[in-house]
Structure 1
């Protein structure tokens, strides 16, 4: 941490000049009495000075003991502690060493415009007045304070007015914690208009407690009846370092087609998440997430050539998630595992599925679907740096289900995040696997652009439908390859454009029908 070097320089004047021993020449050294210690244990001190005890010692041995003890303090994380040899007479083989612990005399927080000074003080208790700073904890607390991108706190340490004391200034450089983004893309599903417009707005310091509230909307500007989604999300930190989050979503779609089945209707989702960052190591960060949702969908399913059937459903699934990120010198790896499950007692209401026919909501929505379902979804993303700025990206995504799932929980493929040669979610199944690889050039940007990368990709997916009905497709295979570019410019503008060639017929998409995907967005 840069402030550590500054600390050692600014506190150098606190180090007392060792006094000469009362007697020149040799003397017996049977005990070293340490005065002023409050942070190291007696056992630590004894272990440090013991090698310097014995007969026929001299001032050089005492100085070596002093230096070793000072290094023991600083090696233990107490960088403001110094040790000196006070003027004394050596009697009965006893030498005194004096410890100056460098307590914080005054703590000031300066420069903050949008964040509470008191809140910053509360988050750095290791620098409180009267404390002897333990710098491993100081580093952790400052890292937590600087976790967001809107605030940077830098410590400055200098000698205090009283001898052996230090003053600490926490200099704050912050910006307004408001962020947003807008985006136009063509991530459309079959039989819908081709463009989607998204907007999000987020404020990250509600109540001066770093609570975050975000709201978002998505629509189809060419035909707003195709889709409309509203989302709100609220996140707040806990004293333990963990986070809680609640969110709500409402969506409405007049068209969402998969094969010969059109799903029309609206849905509402509310969820709660408990997010636990786990102990990190150098280059390795991981998080555990526990959650529960309440989902309610009012769908109308029309089998082509038949009457419409209302299939409303409400249930409360649980989520257990784990995410790990590994950063190495030439690569980065992200692993995600999510277990989603529901219990029968929380979703087993019977409804009139057909006139005079009463079934469980799940069985009504899909043949042999059950309320006590479970599925495991795994994902791995890996980026490897090659020579001359080139890089290779690989992606694996898969799902395994306990049995037939309702459409809202099925694994879907097709689109920008899976297989780019097809429209969004063109295929859905209970079990599935997606694999992709992408070769990227170094940035080709000039003065106008911040980044310009070209890439070539190949992607494929295979999905299976469990216990498919007669005449129902029980397997989907998707495969495509293509070229593209992505860019960043003017600080907040970004986008991509790629062309993908599909090799397999899937639903309305035919092999050889080249598909273009684009995105243009701005964020601040």
Structure 2
């Protein structure tokens, strides 16, 4: 069949550029309908792994327990008919009586009563009152009723010893309900210590000391510098796209506390061997609320397609702006949950010689929930998860979009990411990761989900199989070798299996032909080496399972991935 030359079909050329980038078959590329290569490139550079947090215990030092004078144990016993609890108004008499109810009517001596006081102390502390104590006051027993006095524990003075350049007001904002006269609750104190530690460049230690009055406790928060004010890492990898250069270098720089407000300036830059230059600068600032932050960021990306598209000078640019608000709902040693609301505005332009430029604008609101927790299920494990809902509006001057995918206008999508590390032994663990997306309509290529690449089905290249909705599932068995040498202090051997499915277009349209879905699978081996705070190296090799061909790059039975990072 006779085909027109590319310069006679300007609209389809833009389809072709996008289609190759999206790794779709010739029959599928019309479904892409003039997608934004700039948008896809942004998506690829922003792909990152969801990471399990490093667990640390809150640094809290408790005071010595108050021990009131007791009468000497003469060995005498009496039949106890009941108990009375004084000194507090939090727990009802019935609730406390239920803890030691089986001792009513028993013949008890002083040592037995002291053991009961210990049981009551343990119960009250298990309800979150960190320094609560029960003791037996001097008393005259009447009608066989024994009195237990309870000290719940209240703050007297809450003091901050600030040894950093962060302003005192920023630190005080993280304390929340910790104030003079308040009860000493374990969850509230731990939350405050963790949130203080979340302030850029800050480490916090809490010391509880006897207060000026019986039953009260002073809290001293010792704030010390943590890490360097200027830090970052330099990275090299082959995670990029074939058409803009698979080999990439990256630089991340973090500048803590530039305005002495616990604020952070973060800079990220990526450059490929040919065709890609990307930069982002962001600023975040703690707000007056406990664990709240305001963020703003700007980014620019320039790309130029090589290989098959070099002759038509396919290139483009994107600029984006984002404003965000973040807050912590839960902050503790075993459970954390934060929320983030953001607004972003993007301007994208794709250029091909001989045809009009394609210009797009996106306005997107996103709501994100991110959390992690630990558990004891089947020997214990750790989880990290993220759920997001994004709703936006796309405007474009691409006339062909209305007759094909019709991506312009309002759109929405859901994203879910889940990661679990299951402990199988002292040195063996199983990691399972899930990344899924659901869309309400056909999406612009920059909003699609890709299966291939270093964070997806690793047997396929970056950008392979992009669709409006689908999922990627990774399972990885890791063996932690007992290595501690001059070069590395951590070494993990891994065997993994990846699989994924995408629906290329949520809805087809008249004239659409070809398959509308793809399923990819692969397996492989990896080795991950690390020297704490100095450098890291990740190597993996993956091979395909099944007959599905790679389209985003030359088809191979196996694919090698490497990433090296040096910290400063």
* TM-score normalised per structure 1: 0.75
Task: Kindly name which structure, 1 or 2, has the bigger radius of gyration based on alpha carbons.
Answer: 1
Rounded Cα–Cα distance in structure 2 between residues aligned with 1:101 and 1:470: 71
Equivalent residue for 2:491?
A: 452
Contact 1:242 1:277 in 2 (8 A): yes
Q: Does 1:411 align with 2:455?
A: no
Q: Match of 2:4?
A: none
The aligned counterpart of 2:527 is 485
1:155 match: 206
Residue 518 of structure 1 corresponds to which residue in structure 2? 562
Residues 185 and 65 (structure 1 numbering): CA distance in 2 closer, same or farther, change over 3 Å? closer
CA shift for structure 1 position 513: 5.2
Q: Secondary structure at the match of 2:276?
A: coil
CA–CA separation in structure 1 for the residues paired with 2:126 and 2:494:
48
Aligned to 1:40: 89
**How far apart are the structure 2 equivalents of 1:145 and 1:460?**
41
Q: Does 2:259 correspond to 1:211? A: no
More relative contact order, 1 or 2 (CA 8 Å, 6+ apart): 2
Deviations 1:173-208 (A, max 9, x none): 422444312111112212333421111112343544
Residue from 301, 308, 312 that aligns with 1:251: 301
Shift of 1:127: 5.5
1:298/1:310 contact within 8 Å kept: yes
Taking the aligned partners of 2:144 and 2:524, their CA distance within structure 1 comes to 83
- Is the alpha carbon distance of 1:488 and 1:160 closer, same or farther for their aligned partners in structure 2, counting shifts above 3 Å? same
Q: Distance in 1 between matches of 2:301 and 2:175?
A: 43
Point out the more displaced range, 322-331 or 407-416: 322-331
Match of 2:328 among 271, 277, 291: 277
User: Structure 2: how far apart are the matches of 1:192 and 1:336?
Assistant: 30
Residue of structure 2 aligned with 1:392, choices 409, 412, 430: 430
2:542 to 485, 500, 513: 500
Q: 1:16 to 1:101 in 2, by over 3 A?
A: farther
Provide closer, same or farther for how the CA distance between residues 164 and 512 of structure 1 changes in structure 2, counting only shifts above 3 A: closer
Q: Is the 8 A contact 2:114 2:136 kept in 1?
A: no
Q: 1:323 aligns with which of 370, 379, 397?
A: 370
Q: Distance in 2 between matches of 1:73 and 1:215?
A: 48
The 8 Å contact of residues 48 and 69 in structure 1, kept in 2 or not, is answered as: no
Asked whether the equivalents of residues 229 and 255 of structure 2 are also in contact (C-alpha less than 8 Å), the reply is yes
Q: Would you say 1:239 and 2:289 are equivalent positions? A: yes
Cα distance in structure 1, aligned partners of 2:422 and 2:94:
50
Matches within 5 A, 1:190-205: 190-205=242-257
CA RMSD of aligned residues (A): 4.7
Q: Is the 8 A contact 1:185 1:195 kept in 2?
A: yes
Measure how far apart 1:408 and its partner are.
Answer: 1.6
1:137 equivalenced with 2:188 (yes/no): yes
Q: Which deviates more from structure 2 when the two are superposed, residues 127-136 or residues 392-401? A: 127-136
- Equivalent residue in structure 2 for 1:369, among 407, 422, 430: 407
Structure 1 residue matching 2:409: 3-state secondary structure: coil
Q: Which moved more, 1:184-193 or 1:453-462?
A: 453-462
Q: Deviations over 1:232-291 (max 9, x none)?
A: 243534515344333222111112899999963111122233334344788443344333
1:332 and 2:382 correspond? yes
Corresponding residue pairs, total: 495
1:170 Cα deviation after fit: 2.7
Q: Alpha-carbon deviation of 1:16?
A: 4.7
- 2:471 matched to which residue of 1? 433
Contact (CA 8 Å) 1:104, 1:168: kept in 2 or not? yes
SS of 1:269's equivalent in the other structure is strand
Q: What's the TM-score, normalizing by structure 2? A: 0.70
CA displacement, residues 426-466 of structure 1 (integer Å, 9 cap, x when unaligned): 33222333233323222252423111122233334343433
| CA displacement, residues 454-504 of structure 1 (integer Å, 9 cap, x when unaligned) | 223333434343337667774444443332211102532002122233454
Q: CA deviation at 1:69?
A: 12
Judged with a 3 Å threshold, the aligned counterparts in structure 2 of structure 1 residues 428 and 330 are, in CA distance, closer, same or farther, namely same
Higher fraction of strand: 1
Aligned ranges 1:27-106 → 2 under 5 Å: 40=89, 44=92, 67=117, 71=121, 77=129, 79=131, 85=137, 106=157
Change (3 A) 1:258 1:81: farther
Note the residue ranges of structure 1 that are not aligned, 5 or more in a row: 354-358
Structure 2 unmatched ranges of 5 or more = 1-56
**CA shift in 2, pair 1:219/1:105, >3 Å:** same
Alignment match, 2:553? 509
Using the alignment, how far apart are the partners of 2:267 and 2:158 within structure 1? 38
Distance change in 2, residues 1:127/1:30 (3 Å): same
Say if 2:286 and 2:294, in contact at 8 Å, map to a contact too.
yes
Q: Is the 2:244–2:304 contact (alpha carbons within 8 Å) kept by the matching residues of 1?
A: no
Matching of residue 314 in structure 1 with residue 368 in structure 2: no
Residue 138 (structure 1) shift? 2.4
Distance 2:77 2:525 in 1: 82
Do the aligned residues in 2 keep the contact of 1:66 with 1:97 (CA within 8 Å)? no
Query: Quick one: structure 1 residues 474 and 167, their matched pair in 2 at CA, closer, same or farther if it must change by over 3 Å?
Result: closer
Which string of whole-angstrom CA distances, capped at 9 and with x for unpartnered residues, describes residues 363-394 of structure 1? 38x64223122233333333333346223333
Contact 1:189 1:256 in 2 (8 A): no
Residues 261 and 285, structure 2, Cα contact 8 Å, conserved in 1? no
Q: In 2 relative to 1, CA 241–172 (structure 1 residues): closer, same or farther, beyond 3 Å?
A: closer
